[in-house]
Amino acid sequence: MRTFKLQVQTSADGYMAGPNGEMDWVKLPWTDDINAYVGALWEPVDCMVLGRRLAEGFIPHWASQPDDESKETVDQMNNTPKVVISNTIAESTWENAVVAGGDLTQTVNKLKSQPGGDMIVCGGGTLVRDLIAKGLLDELHLFVNPVAIGAGMPVFADLGIQQRLRLVATRSFDCGIVALHYEPERS
């Protein structure tokens, strides 16, 4: 079965976006050490999973070939197949992306049972919260930025039940970000 990972930027107080979706608090530029770490995290990935709202900005952004990103990163973002989780659209208008809808647990389990490398979700606040709440992620990689924003979209919200996590590793980077790698404790 494929490993399904979460990679998300968070503020020190646990938000993945500001109250209006702002990401201007993310510590940039990244340093070489965090770039290497994220590169290794992505090496076995051959499928990105996105929520529809995130996909609407994310896919066109990378397709525009942004100048402030390395060619390697742009190519990876554009060339990695994407699955957009949505019950509001039926098909993708984006290159290299398909839409999957219906019951989230069934959809994710079907994706995980297919042959291939790791899958990664990088955001989409509602999708991330639902994946965590339903226990569908195998690894959580939280990149904690050295800033508190006070309000916004929490990573862990509306869980319904307590979620126990096992700390696998921590790593601090020269830019001030700290990576926390967790795995859910399965009963």
Backbone angles phi, psi at 74, to 5 degrees: -60, -45
At 5 the pLDDT is 97
The token pair at 72 is: 């390697």
Q: 118-121 and 15-17: which strand pairing? A: unpaired
At 74 the pLDDT is 85
Closest CA to 117 of 1, 6, 37: 1
Give the integer Cα–Cα distance in Å for 26 and 176: 11
Give pTM, 2 decimals: 0.92
Amino acid at 12: A
Q: Which superfamily, per CATH, for 4-56+103-184?
A: Dihydrofolate Reductase, subunit A (3.40.430.10)
At 7 the pLDDT is 96
User: What would the pLDDT profile of 44-95 be if each residue is shown by its tens digit?
Assistant: 999 999 989 888 888 888 888 888 888 888 888 889 999 999 999 888 888 8
User: Where residue 96 falls among pLDDT bands split at 50, 70, 90?
Assistant: confident
> 3-state DSSP helix/strand/coil percent for the chain, to nearest 5?
25, 30, 45
Q: State mean pLDDT over 102-129.
A: 92
* Maximum Cα–Cα distance across the chain: 46
User: What would the pLDDT profile of 26-43 be if each residue is shown by its tens digit?
Assistant: 988 899 999 999 999 999
Question: Domain boundaries in the chain?
Answer: 4-56+103-184
At 4 the pLDDT is 98
Closest CA to 8 of 181, 184, 185: 181
